[in-house]
Amino acid sequence: MAILVGSETRLLVQGLGRDGSFQASRTREYGTNMVAAVHPGRDGQKFEDEVPYFSTVANAVEQTGANTGVIFVPAPFAMDAIIEQVDAGIELVVCISEGVPVLDMVKVMEYIKDKPTRLIGSNCPGLLSPASKAKVGIVPGNIVRPGNVGVVSRSGTLTYEAIAQLVQHGMGQSTCVGIGGDPVHGTTFTDVLELFQADDETEAIVLIGEIGGIREQLAADYIREHVTKPVVAAIAGQSAPAGKRMGHAGAIVTGKAALASEKNKALSEAGVHVVESPAMIGAKMKEVLGS
Amino acid sequence: MNIHEYQAKQILDDFGVPTPHAEVASTAAEAKEIAARIGRRVVVKAQVHAGGRGKVGGVKLVNTPEEAEQVAASLLGSRLVTNQTGANGVPVEKVMIAEALDIKDELYISIVIDGDIGAPVLMASTEGGMEIEEVAEYSPEKIFRVAGDPLIGLTTYHARDIALALEVPAGALRATTKLITDLYRVFIENDCSLVEINPLVITQDDQIIALDAKINLEDDALFRHPELAKLRDSNQLDPLEQRADKADLAYVKLEGGRVGCMVNGAGLAMATMDIANAAGAPPANFLDIGGSADQGQIEEAFKIIMADDDVEMILVNLFAGIARSDVVAEGIVAAAKETNATLPIVVAMRGTNAEKGIKILAGSGLNITGAPDLAGATVAIKQKLQEMGGSN
């Protein structure tokens, strides 16, 4: 079993502009069961002649039984799209949109806190389980292989880099989860670690963090107490100076805890195999698994 | 986005937060007029997007309008170099002339988003005038925090708790409570990423006044504040950062670097900087070209890197998901030819159309070394450094 997505995934895609349509095509090519497309005003039409369009998420869910939603709408409308999916009862909502105002995410997190929906993102690459051909988001399907390493990351392309390194060293992935680079985001490292720990298919975990915040330290605390599977970690931004935002809204050193060195230390002390260079993720995992 | 102190003061005024009587001047003559109008001792403050200006002569107390004129004349048109700027400093194009107050006590207050709890957090301290990081390090018990409720906001009783913790005089309690709630509204209603008043002062006659004002606006929310977006002053940016800003590229100039980096994705860009550093060649910049850059942006990105005198070598690391490697390669070749680039370029290219991109680069006649991945790039950089004489 993979985590969060699998053969039972019934995917709804919201926001089919240029990027959304491109990604929806890749998602279907990969083999994911996309059951609904939501784009106001296209009722009655079909995406790629097969997937019905709906103007509202509620209608789409009622007609198709969609249980997972992915959001590609422009950032100013992302809060609304997330809430619309939550209100429609979707179990897993993945928000890819980049540049969502942080105060919108603050409201979203408050809104969903007592609801059954799990949110991933915003500003994330989404997730993918190779064995069940389930892809929700933008992780390229051609770089992954089925296997037993779970990958969780704050970054997009650095996740691809880690996946490529694993594949190069002969290791596939159970599920790859990009949790996103925004300071306020849904599912955290800790949430995903809990799922990987409970997942039979996952034997080991790669965790990719960044400068900024204290989420890596919280992950370290959780690993020390609850994770028995080996974890390899890399933190990007060791050479980043304080006070300069490195692209991601969350990637800025504002205090001591936000430093890569502090995160490395916390993870090492929790028994995590921390690589000094992000080029060594695959090699280190191979060494740890002795394969 | 950073804004100037005088612009931040205007926002505070609009929200009813008490500030000193002050006006902004672009010439020394204006500075003199304003000082005369205020009619007492004034402080002349250089308007720059950098902290630490007080330590380098950017803030001066003067007694007469003539002195204000002199100080303004020396500041205006100069570049201020502080511990927060690069060696080139930042230009002083305006000065603020503010009435000098008789201060009894200096306090600190700020509001930021705490991503780890997912809410705005207000921090206050009795140690005004000091760097809050220092207070946090040496006397954390002097910092008081309260989180705003995402839906309700900051309640008055929370604001009063903070005012009481700051031990303001009884006569100033009500005004301080109001000031704290108003500051919180400033933060929320303008989509700020930082509101910091340091110092917040109690005057000899027990008035509470925001003596300084630092406001950062959240870039991602500027679309709903068109009037605030106009406050952008790109002259305060490093010239290369200014060019990148215009081309809509995420670029940060780094001091003391040697390798120009061009990468797609923020995390991979940081990782690339890290491996360059580990290979013995510190990165000269952070640059994320993003997923949907067109050839024009790629060309400009490359030219920006080339325009940086610190750059001795270029490292391109592309893992194309949305981005297309061939478009990036075409952009690099076009820009390199135009600028007659002879610097060594190490390229790792994977993902969408990578073979095509590598082919374009290989056939370009440029000084290019291919690398299969990050580890390969590390080896290639080390080798290039050796060829260049391993100079440090």
What are the domain boundaries of chain B?
A: 21-99, 103-229, 238-387
Domain B21-99 in CATH 3.30.1490.20: yes
Name the closest residue on chain B to residue A98, using Cα atoms: B220
> Nearest by CB to B220, which of A164, A213, A249?
A249
Are the beta carbons of B113 and A279 separated by less than 8 Å? no
Q: What is the mean pLDDT of residues A61-83?
A: 97
Predicted model pTM: 0.92
**DSSP 8-state class, residue A240:** P
Candidate from A14-28, A140-154, B35-49, B309-323 with smallest mean pLDDT: B309-323
- Say which CATH topology domain A8-122 has: Rossmann fold (3.40.50)
ipTM of the complex: 0.91
For chain A, the domains span: 8-122, 124-291
> Nearest by CB to A278, which of B254, B274, B292?
B274
Are the beta carbons of A138 and B288 separated by less than 8 Å? no
Nearest CA to CA, how far is B384 from chain A (Å)? 18
Are the beta carbons of A164 and B373 separated by less than 8 Å? yes
Q: Which residues of B345-370 are buried (b: 16+ CB within 10 A; e: fewer)?
A: bbbbbbbbbbebbbebbeebebebbe
Q: Which residues contact A73 (CB under 8 A, 6 or more apart)?
A: A14, A15, A17, A20, A80, A81, A97
Are the beta carbons of A276 and B278 separated by less than 8 Å? yes
pLDDT in the model for residue B392: 47
Report the top-level CATH class of B238-387: alpha beta
Are the beta carbons of A143 and B351 separated by less than 8 Å? yes
Are the beta carbons of B350 and A160 separated by less than 8 Å? yes
Q: What are the residues facing B120 on neighbouring strands?
A: B113
Nearest CA to CA, how far is A32 from chain B (Å)? 18
What are the chain B neighbours of A236 within 8 Å (beta carbons)? 267-268, 270-271, 274
What are the chain B neighbours of A161 within 8 Å (beta carbons)? 268, 271, 319, 373-374
pLDDT in the model for residue A146: 97
Q: Do domains A8-122 and A124-291 have the same CATH topology?
A: yes
pLDDT tens, A216-226?
A: 999 999 999 99
Place of tokens 């004129």: B69
> Nearest by CB to B271, which of A109, A213, A236?
A236
- Say which CATH topology domain B103-229 has: D-amino Acid Aminotransferase; Chain A, domain 1 (3.30.470)
Q: Which residues contact B263 (CB under 8 A, 6 or more apart)?
A: A157, B269, B272, B287, B288, B289, B316, B317, B318
Selected residue of B193, B218, B374 to mutate for chain A interface (largest A Cβ count, 10 A): B374
pLDDT in the model for residue A14: 98
pLDDT in the model for residue A291: 57
What are the chain B neighbours of A182 within 8 Å (beta carbons)? 115
Are the beta carbons of B113 and A183 separated by less than 8 Å? yes
Pick the CATH number of A124-291 from 3.90.230.10, 1.10.287.70, 3.40.50.920, 3.40.50.261: 3.40.50.261
Q: Which long-range contacts does A225-228 make (Cβ < 8 Å, 24+ apart)?
A: A226/A193, A226/A194, A226/A197, A227/A193, A227/A196, A227/A197, A228/A197
pLDDT tens, A223-247?
A: 999 999 999 999 999 998 887 888 7
What are the chain A neighbours of B110 within 8 Å (beta carbons)? none
Nearest CA to CA, how far is B328 from chain A (Å)? 16
> Nearest by CB to B273, which of A100, A185, A239?
A239
What are the chain B neighbours of A244 within 8 Å (beta carbons)? 252, 286
For residues B315 and B272, the answer to whether their CB atoms sit within 8 Å is yes
Selected residue of A106, A123, A214 to mutate for chain B interface (largest B Cβ count, 10 A): A106
Nearest CA to CA, how far is A236 from chain B (Å)? 5
Q: What is the mean pLDDT of residues A253-259?
A: 82
Are the beta carbons of B268 and A237 separated by less than 8 Å? no
pLDDT in the model for residue B130: 78
Name the closest residue on chain B to residue A215, using Cα atoms: B116
What are the chain A neighbours of B375 within 8 Å (beta carbons)? 165, 277, 279-280, 283
Nearest CA to CA, how far is A256 from chain B (Å)? 9
Selected residue of B134, B238, B268 to mutate for chain A interface (largest A Cβ count, 10 A): B268
Select the more confidently predicted residue: A8 or B52: A8
Are the beta carbons of A276 and B265 separated by less than 8 Å? no
Name the closest residue on chain A to residue B378, using Cα atoms: A279
What are the chain B neighbours of A218 within 8 Å (beta carbons)? 116
Measured torsion, CA atoms of residues A34, A38, A39, A45, in degrees rounded to the nearest 10: 60
Candidate list A39, A185, A226, A248, residue with the active-site label: A248
> Nearest by CB to A106, which of B150, B282, B283?
B150
pLDDT tier at A114, thresholds 50, 70, 90: very high
For residues A175 and A150, the answer to whether their CB atoms sit within 8 Å is yes
pLDDT tens for each residue of chain B, 392 residues long = 999 999 999 999 999 999 999 999 999 999 999 999 999 999 999 999 988 898 899 999 999 999 999 999 999 999 999 888 878 899 999 999 999 999 999 999 999 999 888 999 999 999 988 777 788 778 888 889 999 999 899 999 999 999 999 999 999 999 999 999 999 999 999 999 999 999 999 999 999 999 999 999 999 999 999 999 999 998 998 889 999 988 989 999 998 899 999 999 999 999 999 999 999 999 999 999 987 778 888 999 999 999 999 999 999 999 887 778 888 899 999 998 888 888 999 999 988 788 899 999 988 888 888 888 888 999 999 998 888 875 44
Selected residue of B237, B274, B355, B373 to mutate for chain A interface (largest A Cβ count, 10 A): B274
> Nearest by CB to A161, which of B119, B193, B268?
B268
Nearest CA to CA, how far is B268 from chain A (Å)? 4
Mind spelling out the 3-state secondary structure of chain B?
A: CECCHHHHHHHHHHCCCCCCCEEEECCHHHHHHHHHHHCCCEEEEECCCCCCCHHHCCEEEECCHHHHHHHHHHHCCCEECCCCCCCCCEECCCEEEEECCCEEEEEEEEEEEECCCCEEEEEEECCCCCCHHHHHHHCHHHEEEEECECCCECCHHHHHHHHHHCCCCHHHHHHHHHHHHHHHHHHHHCCEEEEEEEEEEEECCCCEEECCCEEEECHHHHHHCHHHHCCCCHHHCCHHHHHHHHCCCEEEECCCCCEEEEECCHHHHHHHHHHHHHCCCCECEEEECCCCCCHHHHHHHHHHHHCCCCCCEEEEEEEECCCCHHHHHHHHHHHHHHCCCCCCEEEEEEECCHHHHHHHHHCCCCCEEEECCHHHHHHHHHHHHHHCCCCC
What are the chain B neighbours of A234 within 8 Å (beta carbons)? 271
Nearest CA to CA, how far is B207 from chain A (Å)? 32
What are the chain A neighbours of B263 within 8 Å (beta carbons)? 157
Nearest CA to CA, how far is A36 from chain B (Å)? 22
Place of tokens 């392309």: A157
The catalytic site residues of B sit at: 108, 196
Are the beta carbons of A247 and B275 separated by less than 8 Å? no
> From residue A244, how far is each of A102, A178, A241, B255 by CA, in Å?
18, 23, 6, 12
What are the chain B neighbours of A157 within 8 Å (beta carbons)? 263-265, 267-268, 319, 321
Q: Do domains B103-229 and B238-387 have the same CATH topology?
A: no
Selected residue of B151, B249, B319, B381 to mutate for chain A interface (largest A Cβ count, 10 A): B319
